[in-house]
Amino acid sequence: WTDVVKIGRTHLQDAVPLTVAQEVGGWAAQLQDTERRLQESLAGLHALPLGGTAVGTGLGAPTGFGELVCEHLRQWSSGHNWHVAPNRFAVMGSHDALVDLMHRVSQLAMGLHKIVNDVRLLASGPRAGFGELRLPANEPGSSIMPGKVNPTQCEAVAMATVQVLGQSTAVTMAGCGGHLQMNVYKPLLGFNLLRATALLGDCCRSLRVHLVEGLEVDGQHIGILRDRSLMLVTALAPEIGYDTAARVALHAHAHQLSLRDAALALGVITAERFDQVVNPQAMAQPGGQRASTAPPPSAPSNSLP
């Protein structure tokens, strides 16, 4: 979708152009960053208070007991650096590593929530909404409105992520529950952490099969919305000045004109120069409109990238 240039939106208002590939790439990068943070957080679980016995002093445990057990664990589970915690008192009196991992899981939930809400907005319509994306029809959308396609996968994932964020709150409170030399909330921590990871795993698999693999773009409609946007005037600002560009946008909006017609009506630029400067494809690339003077792209393919 690198050739599909659409209008961006900030504050839910029209903004400057970007490509669909850039938008979707932002979603992918957000999930990749979260995956990296999850992997980093897992390392904290390798520090064990073995040999600390009752309160962390090691009373009653043979010398070297914790180190020996960790050595056996490393042999039995390749790739995991199990080791005795540098301070057993800290690990027994708190469960910070588990809380940290749960917070990373909740970051995944927040990211998924944001992404599916974006998809719902972009697929709204199809005639009276954004209508930029076409969702796969997994089931009849309505018993009284034939042909309706609802974003059920997005809605299911949104509900699941809210559930996970609630579980994260429970884990956070459990992490506060240590008294003196022991935090007794580990059953609650483990229960919610395992349930949350299983739920999000199911969400990701279902989202891929029932949404992502069948997702399409409506290139023609995207082009219409892009070309109607007043924010393409941003490319004119370096050419004719900010105040004059704003006057063009306001004139176009007030008189229901295209930016091109408004600029020509006000006599602030020639038609040839307007077509060179206001180039959505170039505006979506590094360097903005100065990157190219090629004409806008033709209607793009709707196939998956």
Residues labelled catalytic: 11, 142
The answer to whether 152 and 139 have CB atoms below 8 angstroms apart is: yes
* Helix, coil or strand: residue 8: strand
Start-end of H helices in the chain: 20-42, 65-76, 88-93, 96-122, 152-175, 186-210, 219-228, 237-240, 242-254, 259-266, 271-277, 280-283
The partner residues of 216 in beta bridges, in order of sequence, read 134
Stated length of the chain: 305
**If you compute the radius of gyration of the chain from its CA atoms, what whole number of angstroms results?**
27
Q: Exposed/middle/buried for 70, CB within 10 Å: 0-12, 13-18, 19+?
A: buried
- Asked if residues 123 and 151 have their Cβ atoms less than 8 Å apart, the reply is yes
